[in-house]
Structure 1
Amino acid sequence: MTLRSAALIAAACLLPLPAAAHFQLIHVENPIIEGPGDVPLRLIFWHPFENGHVMDMGQPLAFYSVNKGKKTDLMDRLKPITFTGGENAAAAYEASVPVTRAGDYVLVVEPAPYLEPSEDVFIQQLTKVYLNHAELPTDWMEPQGLATEILPLNKPYNIIAGSTFSGQVLAEGKPVPGVEIEVEFMAAEPDLATNTAKSAVAGPMPGGSVVVVSDADGTFTFGVPKAGWWGFAALGSGPAKEHEGKELSQDAVIWVRAWDLE
């Protein structure tokens, strides 16, 4: 059990409701891009499964895209906004990513560490999501050299609902065995027109967060039961363990999109 997991359990004992999973979002409405142009997105730190509490995001340390191995800095495209979830409103960001060439676009945000008061722990979720233009796969199977990341082992933007998603947790390029990976369904999606949460299409799971554990090679597999966006957060998988004198949970997060067969 990680230190953060122990802190979550301890915090849950003091709260009237179960502790919920924090998830950094890079949200786009559709990862399948039909033509060239700017794709709008939102950066939100939230609990989307239960349309719960939204956390204030600080200025990200880095935000960029990668297409055919070429990195494009997107920091100058960030604009502060307020996002309103089911419980509260908090600081978030809007931006757009230019899609001009065919292939995969790996979007990466390295957020500033967030101090979670209930745990007295900093959380930094290094997050990836994938777009594809013109059905040409180029970058999705490549690691991006993050301090910690989840490498997808099947294409992350067109998973068939009812099949499985597999990933490998890496830290400094090496597999991380035995790490707890929280699984999140984006039951309430952000409305990009209003910067508010849409109505939830599913309720949170009884028994708290859904968790899988990486094997000796750092890999895991999860059966994806429903179409939509699914997030995976490897808790404390990163090499950094402290920030400003407090414990830091440096997590690897990936979002993947599942679709129903029609």
Structure 2
Amino acid sequence: MKHLLLATAAALLLPKVAGAHFLLSYTKDTIIERPGDVPVKLAFWHPMSDGTVMELAEPLEFYVVHRGEKTDLKSSLTPTVFRSSENSAGAYMGSVPVKRSGDYVLVTVPQPYYEESEDKFIQQITKAYLNRSGLPTDWDQPQNLRTEILPLTKPYNIIAGSTFRGRVMAAGDPVAGAEIEVEFMAAEPDLAGEGALAPTAKPLPGGAIVVISDDEGYFDFGVPKAGYWGFAALDIGPDKEFEGKPLSQDAVIWVRAWDLN
């Protein structure tokens, strides 16, 4: 408890930033009732503010893990365009075959993106989760990525108003003092079109929501609203340079909260 209180206090002292960019791995639902191919949209975007979209190159890896078995999904990817309220940029559509009961851990490893304003590269290694038939199988297992957030709360059916807990990892080790940006997907992508649906919330004053992991890599966040929430642990991966410039290798996880009716 002492570590969490210290982490919260540290978060309050951090300088505020204008907004957060997140790699989306978006499906309309996380609970899949019928077997079939589930559409996925990949976009690099500011989802809280429906802000700038960054150009997304073809991912280095795009796969799903089900019952411990990895299936490559890169052949399902097709280039598309994503349009925000500010601009448009390249994105991708893909699909996940969901057949048997259990969890489906969707992993996207993008090519590093050059952020000209900061003269550095950003690589957001991203996980998202689906489930069929309510049978938990894989959600709490690490995927042995260069960096990742390990969920300690089942990530696809969180109750709005409860707490999401995770652990920040890099090269298999916990990361103390990681800065984690938190983002609500206020406007969800329109899978049938190129833009986003109407936003259900406005950006908060004061910039990005930030929490800090404790000395064992753990963090908590009270999820106040139903919908998709993203967590990005910034610049924690072991790879620090790409093409002669600094690389921020980030761990991103998307979770889904629901209202308790």
State the TM-score, normalizing by the size of structure 2.
0.93
Residues 202-239 of structure 1 deviation map (CA, whole Å, 9 limit, x = unaligned): 11111110000000110100000000000000001100
Q: Matches of residues 201-240 of structure 1 in structure 2 within 5 Å?
A: 201-240=200-239
Mapping for residues 183-202 of structure 1, pairs under 5 Å? 183-202=182-201
The match for 1:241 is 240
**1:76 corresponding residue in structure 2:** 75
Which residue in the other structure is 1:120 paired with?
119
Question: Which residue number in structure 1 is paired with residue 4 of structure 2?
Answer: none
Report the CA distance between 1:100 and its aligned residue.
1.2
1-structure distance, mates of 2:18, 2:107: 27
Stretches (4+) displaced over 4 A: none
Shift of 1:197: 1.1
Alignment of 1:23-34 (within 5 A): 23-34=22-33
**C-alpha deviation, 1:180, in angstroms:** 0.2
Equivalences, count: 247
Structure 2 spans left out of the alignment, 5+ residues: 1-14
CA RMSD of aligned residues (A): 1.0
1:20 and 1:259 map into 2 onto residues whose CA distance is: 24
Deviates most, 157-166 or 196-205: 196-205
User: In structure 2, what is the equivalent of residue 85 of structure 1?
Assistant: 84
Alignment-derived partner of residue 44 in structure 2: 45
Pairing of 1:86-105 with structure 2 (within 5 A): 86-105=85-104
> Percent same amino acid among aligned pairs?
64
Partner of 1:179: 178
Residue matched to 1:138: 137
> Which residue matches 1:5?
none
Deviation track 1:135-178 (CA, whole Å, cap 9, x = no partner) reads: 00000000000000000001000000000000000001110000
Cα distance in 1 for residues equivalent to 2:42 and 2:215: 33
- CA distance in 2 between partners of 1:52 and 1:106 (Å): 27
**Deviation at 1:200?**
1.1
Counterpart position of 2:253: 254
Q: Distance in 1 between matches of 2:248 and 2:202?
A: 27
What does residue 161 of structure 2 align with? 162
> Partner letter of residue 86 of structure 2?
E
The 3-state SS of whatever aligns with 2:75 is helix
SS of match in other structure, 1:97 = strand
User: Matched residue of 1:197: which SS?
Assistant: coil
**Residue of structure 1 in register with 2:5 after alignment:** none
TM-score, L = length of structure 1: 0.93
Unaligned runs of 5+ in 1: 1-8, 13-17
Query: How many angstroms does 1:19 deviate by?
Result: 3.1
Residues 52 and 87 in structure 2, CA contact (< 8 A), matched pair in contact too: yes
**2:33 alignment partner AA:** E
Q: What letter is aligned with 2:246?
A: E
Using the alignment, how far apart are the partners of 1:64 and 1:23 within structure 2?
19
In structure 1, give the amino acid aligned to 2:148.
Answer: E
Quote the offset at 1:86 in angstroms.
Answer: 1.1
CA distance in 2, matches of 1:135, 1:259: 15
The one-character-per-residue Cα deviations of 1:64-105 (angstroms, maximum 9, x if unpaired) are: 000000000000000000011111110000011101111000
Question: Does the 8 Å contact 2:18/2:206 carry over to 1?
Answer: no
What CA distance in whole angstroms lies between the structure 1 residues aligned with 2:209 and 2:153?
21
How far off its partner does 1:195 sit? 2.0
* SS of match in other structure, 2:53: coil
Q: Offset at 1:20? A: 1.7
The aligned counterpart of 1:21 is 20
Instruction: State the Cα deviation string for residues 90-138 of structure 1 (Å, max 9, x = none).
Output: 0000011101111000000000000011111100000000000010000
Letter in 2 for 1:69: G
